[in-house]
Amino acid sequence: MKPVTRTRIFFAVFDLFLVGICTMVTVFLHDDWSIKHRDGSYLFAFFTFPLLWLLLSLLTRKFRIGERSNQKEVFFSVLFSNFIIIGVVTIVMVFFQLNYFSRFILFGTFTGITFLEIVIGYLYVSVKKSVFIKDWIGLDIPEEQTRVIAPFPVPGILSEPRNLIPIRESIIEESGAMAYAWIGGHVDVTDPKNLIISTDSRFNIINHPSEFYLSVVNLHRINSLRRINKFFETVNEKLPSGGIFIGCGETYSLRKNRILLKFPFGLNYIIYSFDFLLNRVFPKLALTNKLYFLITGGKRRVISRTETLGRLYSCGFEIMEEKTIGNLLYWKVRKISEPFFDTDPTYGLFIRLRRIGKNGNEFNVYKLRTMHAYAEFIQGYVYENHQLAEGGKFKDDFRVTTLGRIMRKFWLDELPMLLNVMKGEMKIVGVRPLSKHYFGLYSEELQQKRIKVKPGLIPPYYAQYPTPLTIEDVQKNEMEYLMNFEKSPFRTDLRYFFKAMNHIFLKRARSK
């Protein structure tokens, strides 16, 4: 039997022992020690719940606690698993109407066992990682823990090609054969001027020389990075202009598919819901962000494909290729500029977007978020790869969230733009305020006419039914509106307003 398997069995048996001890202590505190006086259904529940606890602990992989790399991961793993367990147990109690079973015993046991698991897991990992503690208490120290790390070699001696077989085996062991084949098709893994590492620490990048390597390949997924942008910025600093960066990460959609396929139906959606809340929502909220990173160190964070690519663009890279391999998204990017250094990214529902207004001046448009974070940085990339759909919107725009599509359909995302109207930056009817990239798609003549007037909340093409299907039709409609507006501003806006209202409310025209 493998040592890892033996360790998991030991933790499973020991956990059952702890559950029994905590249950007995909680029963005693509840002054309900005389279990023998209870009926059979009570005793059935009393002895069934520990078995259910064990089964769910196995399914949520809690007994891999001995393989966790640090104490924070142990803490998060226990909390995540136990919250899943208490949620399932609560559902079982409600479904089978176990009203006679004491809630104090149930939640008291849950609290006690969670505390003990965290403390014991914390101590176990501390001893496992610490050479000093092992030596102090007389345990054998593995050779890899006593090995002295050699200093970083100076670039002058990095002239001999690497041996292909060891580096190939190392990459396959870390990332798999398919990932090795894809990476090997883009960089020469034997060339010492291509840095190949697997790290979640910026420290392991920052100590390398600047502009020495032609490419950097990081086999470690970015979900484990505490400060993703800082890591990307450091890679940018080390590469010359045109240098290649290859990395990988588990996107939101890939993680969802993995969880739903891994667990039985029903339980998979419960686990996914908790995972979504803990690893996707909590890191984005101001109230829970610091607590989340304090507990997890950012080791399990979930980010979308949009945010991944957007962060890369914001850090001075452009996407050359994407590839989904297994359950990870791999990318090949090229350094094209210095990082943007966005020091205050926003993740909330209420956002501000830079748009071009009257006289060509930029201003902040207020909206409700319908896209994933960092979506604005890849607008050009989406246009180049997806072009435009009907109505002038981007075709198959993966940046838009599920909730965002609903809000867009009924224009709920645009309600905050009434603040722009109140501030005098916009008017009720008029051409839409555009981003720099989208503005650049328009003809020069139309651009000059657009910046002579304030942009509007209700675009003129909603006064046309059916609404325009192509960007050319949109531009033709806007040009017609602007020419009419030059002749009679008030009358034109009034006419377009009532036409738009008629099409929206009576003919059910909807945004896309």
SS (H, E, C) 157-198: HCCCCCCHHHHHHHHHHHHCHHHHHHHHCCCCCCCCCEEEEC
**CA angle in degrees (0–180, nearest 5) for 358-363-364:** 140
pLDDT at 180: 95
Residues 429, 365: one domain?
yes
Amino acid, single-letter form, for residue 468: P
Structure token pair of residue 478: 């806007």
Report yes or no on 154 lying in a domain.
Answer: no
pLDDT at 42: 55
Residues 167, 308: one domain?
yes
What CA–CA distance (Å, rounded) separates 168 from 33? 62
- 3-state class percentages of the chain: helix first, strand second, coil last, to nearest 5: 60, 10, 30
How buried is residue 339: exposed, middle or buried, by Cβ count under 10 Å (0-12/13-18/19+)?
A: buried
What CA–CA distance (Å, rounded) separates 173 from 224? 19
Report yes or no on 147 lying in a domain.
Answer: no
Report yes or no on 355 lying in a domain.
Answer: yes
Report whether 19 contacts 57 (CB < 8 A): no
Residues 236, 328: one domain?
yes
Residues 415, 363: one domain?
yes
Structure token pair of residue 125: 């990992």
Report yes or no on 150 lying in a domain.
Answer: no
What CA–CA distance (Å, rounded) separates 315 from 345? 13
Report whether 23 contacts 71 (CB < 8 A): no
pLDDT at 315: 94
pLDDT at 138: 44
Select from 405, 429, 406, 403 the least CA-distant residue to 417.
Answer: 429
pLDDT at 139: 45
Residues 70, 58: one domain?
yes
Report yes or no on 223 lying in a domain.
Answer: yes
pLDDT at 99: 66
pLDDT at 135: 43
Residues 175, 214: one domain?
yes
Report yes or no on 44 lying in a domain.
Answer: yes
Residues 9, 97: one domain?
yes
Structure token pair of residue 342: 């966005």
What CA–CA distance (Å, rounded) separates 122 from 117? 8
Q: Which CATH number does the domain housing residue 177 bear?
A: 3.40.50.150
Q: For 60-110, write each residue's pLDDT tens digit.
A: 777 665 554 566 677 777 887 888 888 777 777 777 666 666 777 777 888
Report yes or no on 316 lying in a domain.
Answer: yes
Is pTM beyond 0.75? Reply is: no
Residues 120, 57: one domain?
yes
Estimate the crossing angle of helix 471-487 against helix 489-505, to 10 degrees.
140
Helix locations, 315-443, DSSP H: 379-386, 402-409, 418-422, 436-440
Helix locations, 227-330, DSSP H: 228-238, 252-262, 267-276, 286-296, 305-314
Residues 269, 325: one domain?
no
pLDDT at 16: 79
pLDDT at 89: 78
Residues 491, 423: one domain?
yes
Domain assignment of residue 83, given as a range: 3-137
pLDDT at 176: 93
pLDDT at 393: 61
Q: Tens of pLDDT along the chain (512 residues)?
A: 555 566 677 777 877 788 778 877 777 776 554 444 455 555 555 667 777 777 877 777 776 655 545 666 777 778 878 888 887 777 777 776 666 667 777 778 888 888 888 888 777 776 665 544 444 444 444 544 434 333 444 444 455 777 888 899 999 999 999 999 999 999 999 999 999 999 988 888 988 888 889 999 999 999 888 789 999 999 999 999 999 999 999 998 999 999 999 888 888 888 888 888 888 888 777 777 777 777 676 677 888 999 999 999 999 999 999 999 999 999 999 999 999 866 556 666 788 888 999 999 999 999 988 888 888 888 888 878 766 555 556 667 888 888 888 888 777 888 899 999 999 999 999 999 998 888 888 889 999 999 999 999 998 888 876 676 677 888 888 999 999 999 999 999 999 999 888 877 776 655 55
Residues 133, 198: one domain?
no
Report yes or no on 354 lying in a domain.
Answer: yes
pLDDT at 126: 66
Residues 315, 457: one domain?
no
pLDDT at 292: 74
3-state secondary structure of 335: strand
